[in-house]
Amino acid sequence: MFDLEGFGHLLFQGTLMTIQLALVSLVFGLVFGLLGATMKLSRFRLLRVLAGIYTALIRGIPELMVILFIYYGGVILLNQFAGWLGYDSYIDISAFAAGVVALSLTFGAYATEIFRAAIRAVPNNQLEAARAIGMSPATTFRRILLPQIWRFALPGLGNTFLIILKETALVSVIGLEELMRKTDMAVGYTKEPFTFFLFAALIYLAMTAVVMLVQQGLEKRANRGVAGRVVS
């Protein structure tokens, strides 16, 4: 491990926190995205309107503001709600939890549109055939829709995750000791910003390269059997 004047282990810890934050946000963001896409394609107008408000609101607000609102506004709302229930003790929200919620909502808003487009890309005649042979909606989704949605959505989801991975740096403003905050602490002690910010940039580049390799592997696996097929 690079010593970096005694701060190498701190940057390593910050990198692990960044990876953890990004992966947890990815899991919840995928859930939000699938739910949002399902609501947007629902036959119920209220669900479509709610999903539209969610995606328009989150995509229209800077990610930093989403993080600050969740961290500071969430504490206020949570304590007010607890007060209505008769709970008097102060409730705090951890920086990690706030970061996960904010990044998950952000990822989910973009994933909603990706999943919606992927669902619409599946030919209707396949769904009609599934219904004709008596498949339940759950079985149709699991065996017909999901494998193809995954294949169509992977490129967009991978690119969105790369953005979320880099936006984890914004969570440092609320005190989470991820890579950027650890780097800033090291700069404050050593007064060597170029060295530490350059090293942090190289770490982000390395994480991005790994994600891109994983994405390529997943896309190759998802497109088995359809090589050479042109998807419009």
| pLDDT score at 226 | 67
Write out the CATH class of domain 19-177: mainly alpha
What's the pLDDT tens digit per position in 160-169? 999 999 999 9
**Residues in contact with 24: Cβ distance below 8 Å, sequence separation at least 6, in sequence order:** 100, 104
Average pLDDT over the chain, rounded to an integer:
88
pLDDT-wise least confident of 111-120, 170-179, 218-227: 218-227
Query: What integer pLDDT is reported at residue 69 of this predicted model?
Result: 92
The whole-angstrom separation of Cα 68 and Cα 76 is 12
User: With helix as H, strand as E and coil as C, how does 180-223 read?
Assistant: HHHHHHHHHHHCCHHHHHHHHHHHHHHHHHHHHHHHHHHHHHHC
Task: Report how far residue 41's alpha carbon sits from residue 186's, in angstroms, rounded to the nearest whole number.
Answer: 49
Q: What is the pLDDT of residues 28-77, one digit of tens each?
A: 999 999 999 999 998 899 999 999 999 999 999 999 999 999 999 888 88
pLDDT of residue 130: 82
pLDDT higher than 50, residue 232: no
Domain ranges of the chain: 19-177
